[in-house]
Amino acid sequence: MKIIGINVHDIRFPTSLDGIGSDAVHVDCDYSATYVEILTESPELRGIGLSFTIGKGNELCAKCIDYFKPLVLQKTILEIEETIAEIWQKCTNHSQLRWIGPEKGVVHMAVAAVFNALWDLLSKYYKKPLWKYIVDMESSKLVKKLSFRYLEDAITRGEAVSILENKRRDLKNSSRSIIESGFPCYTTATGWLGYSDEKMTELVKQSLQDGWTHFKIKVGQDLQRDIHRVKLVRDLIGPNNKLMVDANQMWSVDESIININKLKKFNLYFVEEPTSPDDILGFKKIKENVGNVNLASGEMCQNRVMFKQFLINRSLDFCQIDSCRLASLNEIIPVMLLASKLNIPIIPHAGGVGLCEYVQHLNIINYLLITDNKTYLSEYAESCCEHIERPAKVVNGRYITPQEPGYSAVIKPSSVESYNFPNGKFWSSKT
């Protein structure tokens, strides 16, 4: 069965109208998706993938995918499965496109959309949810499909196979546990920076009633306002529930040290992205000067090489892989394997469009196959879930394990039609 076509859509949702996604830096997010449909000779079998952006620039990511189409078109599904590592390498190391990377930015996010679609296609072909397709694969075969380029000095393929094989010994019991109990998560949806105190209070109270025990809010524009908001939420959730804050890269290193030391009295579980997401040395300096406050980062970490440095340098406490910033599973799983070797917990970034649907699979793969660390947590924000055919399900603050074939992030056709930019029904009416 061959791949006969690839459609790409620039999908944008007007979330800025309600302040959804607003933080100290990104004040007017229009949650968007570079949305890829891979068509096969069977009309019923399509691979769907996306990369998440927040509006302007989404068209650049969509356009970039045109350059990768010849590397995929007319190949059979089994050829894709057998050579996915080689195809990934040709895309990420394209002899001309790599000049505007390499392996970062628009090009890398375009690769993520294509390969998210390819992994979705493969798991649907075998009629399995993505997590089970990966878990059922022999360890050596899985490792051959991944990229360890530039990581060999930190983790070898042999070490990766050993980690996977060691986890398989308890796979039956751990699989039963994750299916019965789900995977714990925290909510970000109650604390966007653009929300008023009244709205935030209402959302936190409702979330408590819905069983949430972990909350994250945005900070970074004004320290006194930050202190007020953090105190408000801490008072609402009480001393026993977990509270995290996210500065979205707003502060300098020295400002981070000052501000975290003033906020830490509220018993913060972690502080996310206090400064530049590329500043490995800066993160280490902050860690050394804020006591026992955990630092988290990864949402903007450009590739596995950046993660290698953050992890080996112990510049972060929690590794926040992102399913669309890194170039799909080919790169994400090696980062999780390295984090496992170093015993650093994975707490994925999610929210946006499709990210919760993706990370629910990544959480399970990490739990069943990779990590022995007992810190299990993941982000959740239901923004735009009404546009997803089978959105991630959360009950009492836990992701319910998906059982449908595929990688889950499929946007409803009606939403694709309405929010295609700039000619969809919604956007053309605004023009």
> Catalytic residue numbers?
218, 349
Please give the Cα distance from 409 to 389 (Å, whole number).
8
Q: Of all helices (H) and strands (E), which one includes residue 208?
A: helix 197-209
Tell me the C-alpha to C-alpha distance, in Å, between residue 333 and each of 142, 311, 351: 10, 14, 20
Residue of 154, 122, 106, 146 whose CA lies nearest to 307:
154
Please give the Cα distance from 346 to 349 (Å, whole number).
9
Tell me the C-alpha to C-alpha distance, in Å, between residue 35 and each of 38, 61, 192, 321: 10, 10, 25, 20
Please give the Cα distance from 277 to 69 (Å, whole number).
31
Tokens read off for 395: 């009950």
Tell me the C-alpha to C-alpha distance, in Å, between residue 362 and each of 61, 209, 293: 23, 28, 26
Please give the Cα distance from 44 to 221 (Å, whole number).
48
CA atoms 256, 261, 266, 267: torsion sign: positive
Please tell me what DSSP assigns to residue 386. Answer: G
Please give the Cα distance from 401 to 364 (Å, whole number).
8
Please give the Cα distance from 416 to 403 (Å, whole number).
24
Tokens read off for 215: 């909350």
Tokens read off for 386: 């009404």
Tokens read off for 197: 């105190």
